[in-house]
Amino acid sequence: MQLTPDEVVIFTLWGVAINATIVNTWIIMALLTGVSALVTRNLRPDVPPNRWRTALEVIVNGIVGQIADVTQHRDPRILYFVGTLFLFIVTANLLTVVPGFDTPTASLSTTAALALSVLVAVPLFGIGNRGIGGYLKTYIEPSAIMLPFNVIGEISRGISLAIRLYGNIMSGAVIAAILLGIAPFFFPVLMDMLGLLTGVIQAYIFAILATVYISSATATPPPDTSVSRKDMP
């Protein structure tokens, strides 16, 4: 039984094996770019929105609302990053219903890359909002002894994101394969429906966790209300 699209080699380019994970990732990227360009080609105030543009606006406004609920402020940079992550993951998971399409999120390399992008984005957003000194200071809060624990916690975030997404996608594929051998007509339909729902939920959870991590890195520290000794009566 095939467990990962990394095992399927589509072609070889200059001695490098291009597997199904890479090819299907390119397909999703091209699909998202093409649909976005097609829907927004007449994005002008004098042109009334059609159903596709309305659907796209609903999706974008939903993502904006979720980000605003988590961060308590609107930052377009977070929208661009988290929105792209969500759309990529949800599209990859929904395309599992297409016969012969192996979702890239079933590969640990893809989920690790997505988690790594979040792991890199968190300090970049934090430095952009607080400055280098202000962000690095968070690693020694509330005291310098917390430095190794904060670093470990930062790394474990990325690992947990990758394992969570990969584990859920792979568990669904394994269960579907087992049920396909037991009842090849009835159970696969139910598993496909359950897989679509799980795929959307996993994309949502991944995006929300990425937003929470970025929000914690960009949050403005509370003002220092401590009273110094010279201010005491």
**Is residue 188 in some structural domain?**
yes
Distance CA 126, CA 221 (A): 12
At residue 168's C-alpha, the angle toward residues 36 and 23, to 5°, is 45
**Is residue 231 in some structural domain?**
no
- Are the C-beta atoms of 110 and 202 separated by less than 8 Å? no
Total domains present in the chain: 1
**Is residue 80 in some structural domain?**
yes
**Is residue 52 in some structural domain?**
yes
**pLDDT for 65:** 86
Specify the DSSP element, H or E, that contains 10.
strand 9-13
At residue 111's C-alpha, the angle toward residues 40 and 209, to 5°, is 75
Distance CA 81, CA 29 (A): 14
- Are the C-beta atoms of 220 and 126 separated by less than 8 Å? no
Per-residue pLDDT of the chain (233 residues; tens, 9 = 90+): 455 776 777 777 787 778 888 888 999 999 999 988 888 887 777 777 778 888 888 888 888 888 888 887 677 888 899 999 999 988 988 887 777 788 888 787 888 888 888 888 888 888 887 788 777 777 777 777 777 777 887 777 767 777 766 666 655 555 555 555 555 555 556 666 666 777 788 888 888 888 888 887 776 655 544 444 444 34
Query: Phi first, then psi: what are they for 13, rounded to 5°?
Result: -120, 115
Domain hosting residue 189, numbered range: 5-220
**pLDDT for 233:** 44
Distance CA 20, CA 102 (A): 7
pTM of the model: 0.77
User: Rounded to 10 degrees, what is the CA torsion of 189, 194, 197, 199?
Assistant: -100
Query: Phi first, then psi: what are they for 99, rounded to 5°?
Result: -60, 130
**Is residue 209 in some structural domain?**
yes
List the structure tokens of 56.
């796209």
Identity of the residue numbered 125: F
**Is residue 69 in some structural domain?**
yes
Q: Is 53 exposed, middle or buried (0-12, 13-18, 19+ CB in 10 A)?
A: middle
Which of 133, 135, 130 has the alpha carbon at shortest distance from 154? 135
Neighbour tally for 167: CB within 10 Å: 13
Instruction: Specify the 3-state DSSP secondary structure of 33.
Output: helix
**Is residue 233 in some structural domain?**
no
- Are the C-beta atoms of 135 and 59 separated by less than 8 Å? no
